[in-house]
Structure 1
């Protein structure tokens, strides 16, 4: 995307229904300005959702996990000590309450295809789509934690096998959402006493390798039928999955050239499948540290650092990639491993070999996950965002908070005015379903070229 492109950027807030938020520095719940210790109660979330809507954010996005981070030092002890992505509450239960106290902002929720059943999942998201008037999106994940598999009494599936299961999961929910009820099946006429036409409600009778589902779907067609489909996998198999299914991609890279090339590959593959590649949008994470002066920025970073635990961050990173760094000396090269976890620099065959000391030094600073582009004065960060959009072609950003709600407030009061002055903030549609806001044609429903509608695999 170029700045001359009329499509406005999407801005969202990344959250998890926990105290030790894994989107940034997980230990900063200890910072005196952070309010996440109250995140087990509803008041915290209502306040945060209202703040996000007042800041004119477009999306409130929930990540999620289904197990503890138990790779580091061979147990979950460090994760429990520091609350790494704990307590992992169910974000789906938060959304109806937050939708009830907001009018415009949309909600994205992460749900795994590996440990859910498609019939129950389809019912929940149809319910959410009705309750939010079409303000709902599903972030499709396949889950990488071995502990999550153990929690469901299962063996963890290999990386690509999880995507094979996900493909069938999507086939089933598409049949339920898109094909079980005709658009004119529901009547709801008090005059005639007809609730729905029986001949326009169909079973799906899916029989596959992983699932057997009879149907019909239990919900009447919701505003979007299928929730907006978000996908965050950046591996080769994940990109193939995104090309087939995704409407919004959560990009797994921070290098703008790599992002542009990756998105070009996904969109080219989508075109081969028969989809319109221009309707696939992409957002990237933004860990923001902004203050009026460079001195104030450094003071803020110093304050974060004083409440930062590198051990907590190493426990999180070890869980993501499946490599226990505690087993290596500082000068010892990390052996390339094929894990069932996400593919990080330590596991990808095409990445440079690192030592354990390289990783420990990286995670010695609170900015380990922060891109320097998003650290600075409002003018500096706004300029950098403009350049990043030009270089990468992304369509928006998800804010990751260092402290909550302080990082969101810094965005709203310091950065947003600078972005507006450059034409980089505001203008994203505020009415209608989330899909209608994302799409050029303002459609509520998936287009005919999407596999959910066409049935093409």
Structure 2
């Protein structure tokens, strides 16, 4: 890739009180407002705050079950509020779009427990209502409790991706091929709403789905929402190479990120795609203050409200291993699971004892990567170095506290980033896809698999 691209900055959220990752227990902090996260006011205030800060993306993660691996039940997750209550973020987005003008939105929807016909209708609706400011984070779901909620067993890791491939095939057919571009007429004089000769069934019959069509929506600004993908396993990277326009990187090591992205882009080129149009963002856990002493005071305050039990419950769910069943000196059994394939739980992972994990989680886990903990100048320099080392195109801020994390980002870090030319260059107008692409296209390029056979 040639010239540096403007960086994308967004906020990672979940429609819950106990926001995910290391912030699960931070709702107990006196400066945190997340207990009001079941209210519309909380979310509209947050969206306005994010847009006022000049951020580009409001991204929602999501889960469909409780974290019930740790200690063999969901009790710890319920008691400490791990990603609970899990409200539906798709219902938040129209309200947030109504109070913002430029902010793009990404939301997580599983291909394992949804049906592509209803899913396609929902996203076409969102794309219309947001004027094309919408992206879909494609996930395959890993929690056993989620599968049980739908009366199913957890599918094997790679089998979930096989189903996802077909799910996307159906959704693409509905979005891209069911209605021709000029099918909609809206002609009051003749009374013709649309040309039936240009609206088509898809008649899909596959291993997992049978869908007749036609799609129920007229073509939306983007037709297909921006495809976001967060899997970092070998199968997840193959999926990203085939489908993704924006990758949410599942690593924090800049060298590993650069190598991983190079592999994805190489594979995308082999599949006939223009790999230079694939963007990537990484999570950022930020603690920033004017002085090093003030930074440490904030870290100490967050640590005082951190629950290692909440973090262990979350991590057990992600990796599929119940750490409570192991004595401190007992090595964790290295095995591939059908959960998220983390660095620590893959079959090829280095041997760790349960005590290693407990000691690691005694401290806020996000503090282990301390490059984004510091004064504004130190963190801004670290961001610039991280971009050069990793090749990422942007960052998603994981808030420790709401609204303080976004306010600190806006008031302290943005000026330092702006001085370095690292902030504010990402396009604010047009559809989400047009902002990501160098050619400013609203619709998918013809080299994307969704466009195969498009009319």
CA deviations 1:215-242 (Å, max 9, x no partner) are: 0000000000000000000000000000
Alignment of structure 1 residues 26-45 onto 2, 5 Å: 26-45=24-43
Contact 2:334 2:349 in 1 (8 A): no
Q: Which residue does the alignment assign to 1:70?
A: 68
CA deviations 1:191-250 (Å, max 9, x no partner) are: 111100000000000000000000000000000000000000000000000000000000
Q: Which residue does the alignment assign to 2:10?
A: 12
CA–CA distance in structure 1, aligned partners of residues 60 and 318 of structure 2:
17
Q: Which residue does the alignment assign to 1:428?
A: 426
Contact 2:249 2:257 in 1 (8 A): yes
Q: Which residue does the alignment assign to 2:240?
A: 242
Q: Which residue does the alignment assign to 1:147?
A: 145
Q: Which residue does the alignment assign to 1:86?
A: 84
CA–CA distance in structure 2, aligned partners of residues 139 and 227 of structure 1:
9
In the TM superposition, what is the alpha-carbon distance from 1:256 to its structure 2 partner?
A: 0.4
Contact 1:254 1:284 in 2 (8 A): yes
Q: Which residue does the alignment assign to 1:405?
A: 403
2:324 to 323, 326, 329: 326
Contact 1:15 1:23 in 2 (8 A): no
Contact 2:68 2:317 in 1 (8 A): yes
Contact 1:113 1:169 in 2 (8 A): yes
Alignment of structure 1 residues 27-426 onto 2, 5 Å: 27-368=25-366, 371-426=369-424
Give the length in aligned residue pairs: 454
CA deviations 1:2-48 (Å, max 9, x no partner) are: 8xx34100000000000000133210000000000000010000000
CA–CA distance in structure 1, aligned partners of residues 23 and 101 of structure 2:
31
Q: Which residue does the alignment assign to 1:437?
A: 435
Contact 2:337 2:346 in 1 (8 A): no
In the TM superposition, what is the alpha-carbon distance from 1:453 to its structure 2 partner?
A: 0.2
Query: Could you tell which deviates more after superposition, 339-348 or 218-227?
Result: 339-348
In the TM superposition, what is the alpha-carbon distance from 1:368 to its structure 2 partner?
A: 4.0
In the TM superposition, what is the alpha-carbon distance from 1:369 to its structure 2 partner?
A: 5.9
Contact 1:109 1:137 in 2 (8 A): yes
Contact 2:21 2:314 in 1 (8 A): no
Contact 1:286 1:371 in 2 (8 A): no
CA deviations 1:79-136 (Å, max 9, x no partner) are: 0000100000000000000000000000000000000000000000000000000000
Question: Normalising by the residue count of structure 2, what TM-score does the alignment of the two structures yield?
Answer: 0.98
RMSD of the TM alignment (CA)?
1.1
CA–CA distance in structure 2, aligned partners of residues 351 and 307 of structure 1:
31
Distance 1:370 1:135, change over 3 A: farther
Unaligned runs of 5+ in 2: none
In the TM superposition, what is the alpha-carbon distance from 1:455 to its structure 2 partner?
A: 5.1
CA deviations 1:317-369 (Å, max 9, x no partner) are: 00100100011111111011221100123321222111111111111112446
CA–CA distance in structure 1, aligned partners of residues 49 and 366 of structure 2:
27
Please give the secondary structure, in 2, of the residue aligned with 1:271: helix
In the TM superposition, what is the alpha-carbon distance from 1:261 to its structure 2 partner?
A: 0.3
CA–CA distance in structure 2, aligned partners of residues 278 and 316 of structure 1:
35
Please give the secondary structure, in 1, of the residue aligned with 2:351: coil
Please give the secondary structure, in 1, of the residue aligned with 2:270: helix
In the TM superposition, what is the alpha-carbon distance from 1:370 to its structure 2 partner?
A: 5.2
Contact 2:18 2:25 in 1 (8 A): yes
Query: Could you tell which deviates more after superposition, 332-341 or 258-267?
Result: 332-341
